[in-house]
Amino acid sequence: MSGLQVRDLSVHFGGVYALKGVALNVPSGVCVGLTGPNGSGKSTLVNAVTGVVDARGDVRVDDRPLPLSRPGRAARLGLRRTYQTPRVHDELTGLENACAGHHVMTGRMVTGALLSRFRSARAERDRRRDAMAALGRVGGDSAAPVRGSAMPYGQRRLVELARVLVGEPRVLLLDEPSAGLNDVETEALCRLIRELTDTGVAVLLIEHRIGLLNEVCDQLVVLEEGVTIHQGAPRDVWRHDRVRAAYIGDLSDAGA
């Protein structure tokens, strides 16, 4: 299967499991929403797949096995991610931050961006053109000359998103990308996700906002305390008692 396949993924911190045997598929050209209450393991799943935290399980990208607990391996298979708290380098401008998408391996990002200043003028022009186009695509043009340290939160998000686009994702993991965006920016984000899936990108969207999930996701996966409690079409998922209970308490106990 092309896209992302996750089987039996488990992560524990000390003796406490943050994920217990989670499975999900994000086929190419499809947006899968990942939701669930705070602390249910959504960000941990992204951290596990990208090798940021130790994990056990079977993860494949375009049918190729992805070694776990090895940061950097995921990027080599075309997997890109954004962070729940956007990561933008404070010393670099929006344009330079976006250019760093060419150097997708974590840790080498800043060095790469700085080194690129010394590369051939033509290659550098191409990189800057791609980065500027990516900023335009996410509606973040105005951030191009702004240093990371001076960017408001929403702008940091757009710049981070531009950086991952520059890295030409095959599989894109977005951890609450709409947090801090206004309505216009959120609408642009939805359009962007649709454009990406139309060109065959597999998108995993972590999100709490039901409207947004309904609008862009083909499938939803709901986690609670590290296990999958439901998978299905977005419009149906909220009808299930277990999902509703996970969010707002057991409705039958509440007399609902």
Ligand X SMILES: Nc1ncnc2c1ncn2[C@@H]1O[C@H](COP(=O)(O)OP(=O)(O)OP(=O)(O)O)[C@@H](O)[C@H]1O
Choosing from 43, 82, 97, 197, the residue that interacts with ligand X (CB under 6 A) is 43
Q: Single out the residue of 9, 24, 42, 160 in contact with ligand X (rule: CB under 6 A).
A: 42
> How far is 120 from 94, CA to CA, in rounded Å?
21
Residues 6+ apart with CB under 8 A from 195: none
- Chain-centroid distance, C-alpha 158: 13
Q: Are strands 64-65 and 16-27 parallel, antiparallel or unpaired?
A: unpaired
Contact between 38 and ligand X by CB under 6 A: the answer reads yes
Interface map 135-174 toward ligand X (x if CB under 6 A): ----------------------------------------
CA–CA distance, 250 with 256 (Å, rounded to integer) = 9
For the chain, the C-alpha Rg in angstroms (whole number) is 18
Cα torsion through 234, 238, 244, 247, rounded to 10: 40
Instruction: Give buried/exposed letters for 89-128 (b at 16+ CB in 10 A, else e).
Output: beebbbbbbbbbbbbbeeeebeebbeebeeeeeeeeeebb
Stretch that binds ligand X, among 35-43, 57-65, 130-138, 139-147 (CB under 6 A): 35-43
Least distance in angstroms from the C-beta of 12 to ligand X: 9
List the one residue from 1, 7, 13, 149 that touches ligand X (CB under 6 A).
Answer: 13
- Identify which range of 43-51, 153-161, 212-220, 241-249 contacts Mg ion by CB under 5 A: 43-51
User: Rule CB under 5 A: is residue 84 a binding residue for Mg ion?
Assistant: yes
Q: Find the part of the chain contacting ligand X (CB under 6 A) among 42-50, 117-125, 163-171, 179-187.
A: 42-50
Using rule CB under 5 A, residue 85 touches Mg ion: no
Tokens of 45: 């799943």
Q: Binding segment for Mg ion among 27-35, 77-85, 109-117, 177-185 (CB under 5 A)? A: 77-85
Q: Would you tell me which residues interact with Mg ion (CB under 5 A)?
A: 42-43, 84
Binding residues vs ligand X (CB under 6 A): 13, 18, 36, 38-44, 84
